[in-house]
Amino acid sequence: MTTEFEISDCLRLKLERGKTNIYVNDKLFNHCKYLLLNLPFKNIDKVEEINSIDDVFEELDKSLEPGYNQAIYIPPEIEFWGHCSNIQVWYENNYDSRFIHSNLAFPLLKKLTEAGDRVAKKVFKDEIAIRFESGHLPIVQYLLNNKYLDSLNDEEIECLLDQAEENLIENLINELKKLWENSLINYWKIAIIIEIITFLALKYNKNYILSIIENLPENIKESFVKRLILYLNYMEFKDYRIPYGMFYEFFEQLLDYIYRDYPKVYESLKLINSGFLSGAISLDERLSFGAVF
C-alpha cells in the first residue's frame, strides 16, 4: 500500500516500498536519503551560530564522538512523516532554502520552477543570490559546482558577484587561516578553496586571488602561494572544463605577479620540469580539463 502526502498541486511525497519518494507534477523527482532527528552538540552555544540546515549538518559532523551510533533504525512510516513535515515547513516558508539541505532544496526548487510552480518561479533566483551572497563556502562551492549561477543572466551575475565579494573574500581568508593550522591534513579542503577562487577568476572574471594573498598573515603567505602554483601546475583543477589557452594566460599573469613579489617562491619552484611551468602542456583550445563550463 502507498502512503501519500500532498504539499501542493505540484508537489507530493509518497511512501513506496519503504522509501520516501518526492513527486513533481506526478513525476518521480528523487527520494529522501536521511532524516535529521537530534543534534548531539557538545556546546549548546553552537545553536546560536546555526543559520540553515546545512550549518546543522556541518556541526553534527563535528560533534559526533567516536562510538556514536549513527545507524539508528527509523521505521519507514516515521521517516516518511518526518520528511513530509520538513518539506511542508519549507513550502510554507516560500521555499526558503535554509529550511532543508541545499542538495535537496536547490534541485527541487529548480524542478518546481520548470514545472510552473508560481512561488518557485518567483523565489528561485532570489534563493541562489541570497545563499551565494552569504559567502558561506560550502554553499558557494555547491552552487558553482552545480552551475546554479547559470540560471541568472549576465547582469544578475555581475550584480551578485559584486555584492558577495566582501563576504566571500573575508570567508576565504578566514578559512585559509584556520585550515593552515594543519595544512597537510587539510590539503583537500584547501584545494576546494583554490578551485572556488580559480573558477570565479576564469569563468566570471572575478580575480580574488591577489586580494586574498595580500591579506593573508605573513607566516602563511609564501607557503600558500607555493601551494597555489603547484596545485594549478599539476592540473588538479579538474571539476570544470577550462580551455588550455584561457588557463595558460591566467596562470602566466598569476606567475608574473607571484614571482615578482615573492622571489623565494620562484627560487623554490624554478627547477620544476612539468606542466605550465615548463611550457610542456599543449595550448590547443580544443583540449580542456574536467566537465563542461
Q: How many CB atoms lie within 10 A of CB 113?
A: 19
Q: Which residues contact 140 (CB under 8 A, 6 or more apart)?
A: 132, 168, 196
Q: What is the pLDDT, as a whole number, of residue 258?
A: 83
Of residues 54 and 211, more confidently modeled: 211
Of 8, 32, 130, 144, give the one whose Cα is nearest residue 86.
32
Q: What is the pLDDT of residues 77-132, one digit of tens each?
A: 988 898 899 999 999 999 999 888 888 999 999 999 999 999 999 999 999 999 99
Query: Is residue 292 very low, low, confident or very high in pLDDT (cuts 50, 70, 90)?
Result: very low
**For residue 236, pLDDT beyond 50:** no
243: which residues sit within 8 A by CB, 6+ positions away? Answer: 285, 287, 288
Residue with more model confidence, 35 or 30: 30
Contact 106, 148 (CB under 8 A): yes
What is the C-alpha separation between 208 and 183, in angstroms, rounded?
21
Distance of CA 235 to the CA centre of its chain: 20
The predicted-structure confidence for 181-235, as pLDDT tens digits, reads as follows 998 899 888 988 988 888 888 888 888 888 899 899 988 988 898 888 877 776 5
SS3 272: coil
Residue 191 vs residues 17, 197, 239, 253: alpha-carbon distances, Å: 41, 10, 11, 20
pLDDT surpasses 70 at 277? no
Alpha carbons 112 and 30: distance in angstroms, whole number: 13
Find which of 47-51, 167-171, 258-262 is predicted with most confidence, using mean pLDDT: 167-171
C-alpha pair distances (Å), 135 with each of 7, 46, 197: 31, 19, 12
Total Cβ atoms within 10 A of residue 276? 21
More confident residue, 237 or 51: 51
Residue 93 DSSP class: T
Grid coordinates representing 53 are: 540546515
Residues 109, 51 contacting (CB under 8 angstroms):
no
pLDDT at 226 (0 to 100): 85
Least confident of 52-61, 130-139, 282-291: 282-291
Tell whether the model's pLDDT for residue 53 goes beyond 70.
no
pLDDT digits (tens, 9 = 90+) for 135-172: 888 899 999 989 999 999 999 999 999 999 999 999 99
With a cut of 60, say whether residue 69 has pLDDT above it.
no
Give tens-digit pLDDT for 239-259. 455 666 777 788 888 888 888
Distance, CA of 126 to CA of 33 (rounded, Å): 26
Which residue ranges make up each domain of the chain?
1-35+74-133, 136-293
Confidence label for 13 from pLDDT (cuts 50, 70 and 90):
very high
Q: Which helix (H) or strand (E) holds 23?
A: strand 19-24
Bridge partners (DSSP) listed for residue 288: 243
Residue with cell 526548487: 109
Distance CA 232, CA 207 (A): 15
Neighbours of 153 (CB within 10 A): 10
Sequence length of the chain is 293
Q: Coil, strand or helix: which one is 12?
A: strand
What is the band of 52 on the pLDDT scale with cuts at 50, 70, 90? low
Q: What is the mean pLDDT of residues 264-278?
A: 61
